[in-house]
Amino acid sequence: MEEFAIQDPTQLLAAASEFAYYPGFQTDASAKDFLDRFPLPVIINALQSKTDVPGLESTLVACLERIFRTKYGTSLIPHYMPFVQVGLQAESQLVKCLACKTVSYLLEKVDRSAGFGAELVIDYDVYPLLLDCLINGNENVAAASMDAIKNLASSPEGMDIIFPAYMDEVTHLRNLAARSSSLGHIRVLALIVKLFSISSSVASVVYNLNLLSLLEAVVSNHNDMLTTLSVLELIYELAEVPHAIEFLSRTNLLQILPMTISNPLVESILRSRAIMISGRLLSKEDIFMSIDESIVKTALLAIDGRLKALERQDVDECESALEALGQVGSSIHGAALILSSSSPIAKHVVDAAFDRRERGKQLAALHALGNIVGENRLEDHRMLNDEAEENLRRLIYETAAKSQKITPSGLLLSTLQQDSEIRLAAYGLIAGLVARPWCLIEICSKQEIINIVIGAHIESAKMGMEARHNCCQVIYKTLLTSNILNSDPALTAIASKLQEAVRRGPYLARGWAEAQPVVMTAERF
């Protein structure tokens, strides 16, 4: 390598810095021009040398990153795979990270269908080195390694590397997790989640190899709080994957989570995350086609049990429970289950929504109740089955009767008279509730509610203006299509006011203000 040694590292440093930190887009031509002046072997040799030039390593790494991102730079990677090998085993974390990213660039831009990139990974025994970077590298190296492995999984040949046919292979993810440290174990599980998220076909391989059971095992064991919390975060991420329910519904996860939620010996933060994961999973409409309804009911009752048991003891956990119930209630099936007459859940949500003693809990409950009554559902999906609707009406009238407000309209008005965040949630709740004829009558019977939703000076923030206007629109549209409009002349006047407010829009409610000339006398000294 002596022929590629550079006599003046500062010259290379200056040029590399200019290229690496150039604010514009680096083209193939600019990358080629740079490498014509400083060939790759020269840069690699400088990177491997122990030259004590401040900033040289970090600048060369940044420079090579930009070079390999170009199509021209990527075309050179297959010719320098031995250096990638060395980089993956380097002592420097910066160089390791660059080597992992270089593998990613190779796999992203070469012909995937031909499996050429995967062949290079096999020929140069790169995959075990990537796994070592995942387990033993710093946070940046582990993330770059994970991205490279995810790119490798995009081809059939890469899948064969990551998921070997024989269970006793040292690179099998189950074996890797078993022999790794606590941190390494979590990183392997994070890789499994990342692979699972690629596609339904990759998720199927992960499921068939029983790799999801590794996550279940950690959640079932609460001895190490930090490890359990880390895995719960991974499952929370997993629950957002579009095809997750198809596979998670076949695991024991929906049986394990309720046990975690109901266990008073488990740390509150772990219960909160288990509650949020359950809410996210149960909010999926297709989950009701995948698992038995009794499993869903068990999970819901576990969440509600924490809400009722805690009351005012742990506000954060109560808010998590309410948010989760709101997520479940956003679907028709979920809302119907919550509002079934055999369930105590709805009563606890309604009670909390109109309890002004704890603002945070009330705010979470208002949002949850808004979801349950269909605030975020399409208009023709807001109403539920007869049993659920009757239970909802009864609960709200009973809650009103026990309060100083006496009527549902009084309860709703009291929420609109609170601070802006509570008011914002109340607009959504009313927009969902007003689809019910009894609620429409209640709202139209309370002139103060109408004055607020058409008010020009009620809201000053954009979100508040939009929520108020949407609520006004929904009330007006529902009133027009209802059978009660012609039954009372006063309703015609209300409809006219609502129509005018709708016409003004959310932002022009204050009306046009003409510019006024300002005349001032000149100051004299």
What DSSP string runs through 478-515? Answer: HHHHSSSGGG-HHHHHHHHHHHHHHHHTTT-TT-----
pLDDT in single tens digits along all 525 residues of the chain:
445 555 577 888 888 898 889 888 888 999 999 999 888 988 888 888 767 778 888 999 999 999 999 999 999 999 999 999 999 999 999 999 999 999 999 998 765 555 578 889 999 999 999 999 999 999 999 999 999 999 999 888 889 999 998 888 888 999 999 999 999 999 999 999 999 999 999 999 999 999 999 999 998 887 788 999 999 999 999 988 989 888 888 888 888 998 888 888 888 888 888 888 988 888 887 787 778 788 888 888 888 877 776 655 566 778 888 888 988 888 888 899 888 877 788 888 998 898 888 888 889 999 999 999 998 888 888 889 999 999 999 999 999 988 887 889 999 999 999 888 999 999 999 999 999 989 998 888 888 988 888 887 888 888 888 898 899 989 989 888 887 777 777 788 888 888 888 888 888 644 444 445 555 566 554
- The rounded Cα 267 to chain-centroid distance in angstroms is 23
260 and 271 Cβ atoms separated by less than 8 Å = yes
Most distant CA pair in the chain, distance: 97
- CA-to-CA distance for 187 and 502, rounded, in angstroms? 53
Report how far residue 367's alpha carbon sits from residue 323's, in angstroms, rounded to the nearest whole number. 8
Show me where the domains of the chain are located.
163-251
Concatenated DSSP letters for 161-202?
HHS-SSTT-TT-HHHHHHHS-HHHHHHHHHHHHHHHTT-HHH
Q: What is the pLDDT of residue 290?
A: 77
Quick one: CA torsion of 429, 431, 435, 439, rounded to 10 degrees?
A: 60
pLDDT at 314: 61
Name the residue type at position 433. L
- Tell me, what's the pLDDT at 129? 96
H-run or E-run covering 313: none
pLDDT at 509: 47
Helices within 311-383 (DSSP H only): 315-329, 332-338, 345-353, 359-372
Query: What are the b/e assignments for 27-65, b being 16+ CB within 10 Å?
Result: eeebbeebbeebebebbbbbbeeebeeeebbebbbbbbb
The residue among 62, 64, 57 whose CA lies nearest residue 38 is 64
CA dihedral sign of residues 262, 264, 265, 267: positive
Q: Dihedral angle at the C-alpha atoms of 461, 462, 465, 466, nearest 10 degrees?
A: -150
